[in-house]
Amino acid sequence: MSKYEPLRNYLENLAATNQFQVTLSFEELEGILGFSLCDSAHEHQPWWGNDRTHPQARAWLDAGWQCVDKDLVNMTATFGVLSGLSKAQKAEPHSSYLRASEQKGVIGHTSFEKPKSPILVFSPCSKNKCEKPAEYIPNFTPVEPWRYLEDKELLKRLMDTRKCIVDDLEKRTATQGVLAFDLYVRTGKAYKEIFHSYYKELRDKLIQNDDIQWFFISGGYGVIHALEKAVDYQATFSKQEADENNIPFTGDIWREAGLSAICEHIVQNLNPSRVYVFGGRDYIRFIKSVTYLKGKERVKIMPLRPGCRSSSLSWPIRNLAKAIFHGKLDEFDRTYQSQFKPL
């Protein structure tokens, strides 16, 4: 019998009471197990990976659960039920996941294969943000930056710059982070119409399929995948907006960090069939610098017109989501032809 058997029994009993997610302090875990957690549990994220080759992971996987979050700073771990999975799926080792992640361009959420010519969307972040946690999503692991940015130097630039701008990022994301999609779409003016009509449907499609990849251009995060965790912050690429609202101006910081090169890497890896870009001039300039997109017909850029508020993008972004759902992208392109600008 494994020494982690008490944890398996504990989680099985929780599921029997229809509880499908639990956050435990390390102290509570030690009380359940009857012994102290090792140093690796306190110091190394991979110890909490859903890797069946590790005895602790076998305990929660055999119970039908997975570790969905860990906070080594505040010493807590969150477990969620592996809803609807076969035993074979539950037993998939985390080490296979890591090996697959080393393939070029891996970004899948339910599989590890590189998406084939997806629709790629870049849209702006929002001044108004919502950190209220959304409902629990069974069998879902948020996207990590290395899944869409395999160049180690660019990844380091991205993460170092994020950390400088978003104060105490690592600690906060573990306890308060929500999906970037939720952070921006639930309260952002550019997403008002999506929120009222296609919010859950679009989020579910992003989670379940790889044929659409959505990124936000962000004053705090640079570029962030919709299914990546994020926290509330205030920062902007617009000097005017920064001065008017007394918030940090980060346009020059991200330019020096090589945000254009980061975006170039993402686009090249994904090799999208279509690209849609929305946002103000200070935001879309990083995408307009992507040489890989030069001369490609199916690159549609809709800049925010001078003097207009971000809410003016609300209907076009909502109608893009509608066109994606109904397979009418050509019709969408014709409708908004006059508003698209060349790269």
Query: Residue 214 half-sphere exposure, CB side, CA atoms within 13 Å?
Result: 24
Beta-carbon count within 10 A of 253 CB:
17
CA distances from 29 to 39, 43, 61, 292 (A): 14, 16, 16, 50
pLDDT for position 170: 52
Is the same domain home to 65 and 140? no
Q: Is residue 229 part of a domain?
A: yes
The gap from C-alpha 55 to its chain's centroid, in whole angstroms, comes to: 29
Burial of 334 (0-12, 13-18, 19+ CB in 10 A): exposed
Let me know whether 196 and 280 are in one domain.
Answer: yes
Residue 112 domain-assigned (yes or no): no
Residue with tokens 């599921």: 15
Q: Verify that 179 and 312 share a domain, yes or no.
A: yes
CB 241 within 8 A of CB 254: no
Is residue 92 predicted with pLDDT exceeding 50?
no
Distance CA 246, CA 226 (A): 27
User: What does the pLDDT read at residue 306?
Assistant: 66
- For 71, the domain range is 5-98
Please, are residues 191 and 136 in contact by the beta-carbon 8 Å criterion?
Answer: no
Cα separation of 138 and 15, whole Å?
Answer: 13
Q: Check whether residue 281 and residue 143 sit in a common domain.
A: yes
- Output 292 or 226, whichever has higher pLDDT: 226
Is 170 found in the same domain as 229?
yes
Q: In terms of domains, do 260 and 194 share one?
A: yes
53 compared with 174, residue with greater pLDDT = 53
The number of beta carbons lying within 10 Å of the beta carbon of residue 195 is: 18
Kindly state whether residues 93 and 202 are assigned to the same domain: no
Q: Are 39 and 168 part of one and the same domain?
A: no
Report d(CA 193, CA 314) in Å as an integer.
Answer: 6
pTM: 0.67
Lowest-confidence pick of 94-98, 298-302, 328-332: 94-98
213 and 321, same domain (yes or no): yes
CA distance 301 to 124: 12
Claim to verify: residue 295 and residue 155 sit in the same structural domain: yes
Q: What are 2-40's pLDDT values in tens digits?
A: 899 999 999 988 877 777 788 999 999 999 999 999 988
Q: What is the pLDDT of residue 166?
A: 84
The pLDDT tens digits of the residues spanning 252-285 come to: 999 999 999 999 999 998 899 999 999 998 899 9
Which residues of 233-332 form beta strands (DSSP E)?
274-279, 299-303
Structural domain count of the chain: 2
Residues 71 and 185 in one domain: no
**pLDDT band (50, 70, 90) for residue 300:** very high
When pLDDT is averaged across residues 136-163 and rounded to a whole number, the result is 85
Quick check: is 177 in a domain?
A: yes
